[in-house]
Structure 1
Amino acid sequence: MAPAPRAQPSPVAVAADVSSAPVSTGCGNGGPTTHRGLAAATAASRTMYWPLLRNAECRHGLPAGLLDALVFQESRYRPLVVSRAGAGGLAQLMPRTAGDLGVINRFDAVANLDGGARYLRSMLDRYRSVPLALAAYNAGRGAVDRWGGLPLNRETPDYVRKVLTFFNEDA
């Protein structure tokens, strides 16, 4: 039997661990920053959900702006969107993950953002690395564990790069 594929080092996988990311401070203060190229509808939706997002981000001790970047990549701030895989809501929770988190209605913005923040926090605690936590959020922790790092599938490296790019624009 061939050994499991191993992840190759990449700039994303070598990024700093979670201890170097700024923890949310000034919770509840200010609004979202402006990002280049953000569609007007997305910017308006982002502004509308910002207080809920910041509340969830702060309550679960996430690095400032990380949940914002994740939600932007996952749903573009569309609360009713469903992916081809069946993930739904702002933070794109899969039905089973939502159930495990106690999220009854994935399309309720408060519950969805809280569930997404709790799941992301659990991945940060598990992997102690922002890129690996994002990879696990996208591909599942089983994929990260099997690869021994960033899964080198079609989607995950690009997903992690895009979330980190958006996240770093806020830094």
Structure 2
Amino acid sequence: MISTTDFKEGLIFENENGEIVEIVDYQHHRKSQARAVVRVKLRKLGSGSYVETSYRPEDKFKEVSVEKRPFMYLYSEGDMAHFMNNESYDQVAVPLDKLENQRKYLIENMECTGLYINDQLFDIVLPIKVVLTIKSTVPGVKGDTVSNLTKEAELETGVTIKVPLFINEGDKVIMDTRYCTYVERA
């Protein structure tokens, strides 16, 4: 059993509703006369959706045995994304609707991780930072660099993000896949 004192980012467990979740962020709060609580932001591994909740320090949760295997994204065809297990070279097809948030960062030959629970592929985890190419953006105007201004840019995968003015079409940028934000120029 896992208690709230064991919480850390990336921990995977079964919550009180029987859903398998991963801790994205957590904070321990205690007000002067009130009981302590642990506020947690969780990602549901089945759907990829996020939920915020609070737990008491005495709450216990069921531990989940997770095996991580290296995968490579190959291609998408119809409503399926095809991955290859880098150890056994087996190919696995995953429905695109199961990859809600991940699908907007997938590019061919991308290294990722497959999470297996009870020998069944449960989720695909992308690297935290990925390098993508700017497909289109408006040119930055010289003289607009006094303050920290941003502009919209479309990535090669079709996602629109905010980037600094000095980024141009064709530039490679590093993206944070957790928050869909620009990190730096590659």
Which band: TM-score by shorter chain?
A: under 0.3
Identify the structure with bigger relative contact order (alpha carbons < 8 Å, sequence gap 6+): 1
Higher strand share: 2
The two structures have a TM-score, normalised by structure 1, of 0.24
TM-score by length of 2: 0.23
Q: Judging by fraction of residues, say which structure has more helix.
A: 1
